[in-house]
Amino acid sequence: MSMRPHERIGREILEAADIEVNGDRPWDLQIHHQGFYRRALQQGTLGLGESYMDQWWDARAVDQFVERLVRSGVEQRVSHWRHQLQYVVGNTLQNLQNPRRARRAVAAHYDLGNDLFMAMLDPELNYSCGYWYRADNLADAQRDKLELICRKLALQPGQLLLDIGCGWGSLLRHAAEHHGVRAIGVTLSEEQARYAQAACRGLDVEIRLQDYRELEVVADCIVSVGMFEHVGHRNYRQFMEIASACLAEDGLFLLHTIGNHRHTLDNDPWINKYIFPDGELPSPIHLTEAIQDLFDIEDWHSFGPDYDRTLMAWLDNFDRAWPQLEGHYDQRFCRMWRYYLQFCAGLFRARRLQLWQLVLSRGRPGAYRAPR
């Protein structure tokens, strides 16, 4: 019996990526539903992710499967322009990251439940890329990342540090305990704010449930880790203007963000629907245009491969904790979350995604030497 057109095309794409159907290698695909080919070809990454959630296919190592697909140039061979076009048009005609939508988008992900993140992350609850230069475990990689940031900012006792998008407060605690700073952290997540306030009790740290657009403070140093991905291109310039207004004349601003090597306004349709609504990754052009005449770039540090390792460590933690979590989350959520972590790991491994730390200043005198 001859193959149907969607299956024939799908198998050709998989073969080009050295992926076998019902093969025995970690990245090979096990097909459980013949509708998979049509769904993936017609809906692109949205159909690929949703069909995985619906148990239409499996792979022992989804991260390796994704890496091979991306490296094979599958994006040029599979058209999912309708879903991308829908996002790009909407993102062009309206501000998808306005204050009302921003609060809703943050709640959809970061308020899922602290039990989930406490089980998956390191003990200090860092939900961003670790720094694996010397570390051989997640906890050390995250502590090294926090210390690297503090050293890049050259923090001094008594200085005021502003953390835009402070998460569960790990950087604020580290900076206050080990570098003697005062600190203000802002977040839109009620769960994060509640946890951070308790975790920072006894330190000179203030946690605010506040949009960055409402900031009126002048700080010696500013940091923003893993938050810029939610700002959106329509707001990049405003974000930088606010950061400039909040930074002391001789201060330093460290921006830690996932980046896109392509200059585009689209968001992956599956990620946008299930993980990070209204998320948008900046390109180098986006960043340089946003900071023009506001900041000097003192340092631009790229270590995207470290995010691959971080995501796989989170996956290991999640898998170990699932027996305790499944009373609160169903099996479809489990598959969704495992797919999310492995999908992103594969994208970083294929260098489709980047991780950048920029150190910016308002033109302070003297040379800047970035620690590594």
Question: Given this model, what pLDDT does residue 91 score?
Answer: 47
Strands of 230-295 (E only): list them.
247-260
Distance CA 71, CA 265 (A): 22
Choice among 129, 200, 246, 344 that is catalytic: 344
Work out the percent of the chain whose per-residue pLDDT is above 70. Answer: 89
Distance CA 131, CA 150 (A): 13
Domain covering 91-361 in this structure, CATH number: 3.40.50.150
pLDDT, averaged across the chain: 91
Question: Given this model, what pLDDT does residue 84 score?
Answer: 44
Identify the top-confidence range among 68-82, 110-124, 183-197.
183-197
The reply to whether 344 belongs to the active site is yes
Averaged pLDDT for residues 104-118: 74
Distance CA 95, CA 231 (A): 10
The answer to whether residue 111 scores a pLDDT higher than 80 is no
Structure tokens of 30? 């096990």
Half-sphere exposure of 18 (CA within 13 A, CB side): 7
Distance CA 269, CA 7 (A): 23
**Buried b or exposed e, range 180-209, using 16+ CB within 10 angstroms:** ebbbbbbbbbebbbebbbebbeebebebbe
Structure tokens of 222? 């500013």
Least confident of 39-53, 82-96, 135-149, 181-195: 82-96
Question: Given this model, what pLDDT does residue 300 score?
Answer: 98
**Buried b or exposed e, range 113-151, using 16+ CB within 10 angstroms:** ebebbebbbbebbbbbbbbbeebeebeebbbbbbbbbbe
Domain ranges of the chain: 5-79, 91-361
The answer to whether residue 350 scores a pLDDT higher than 50 is yes
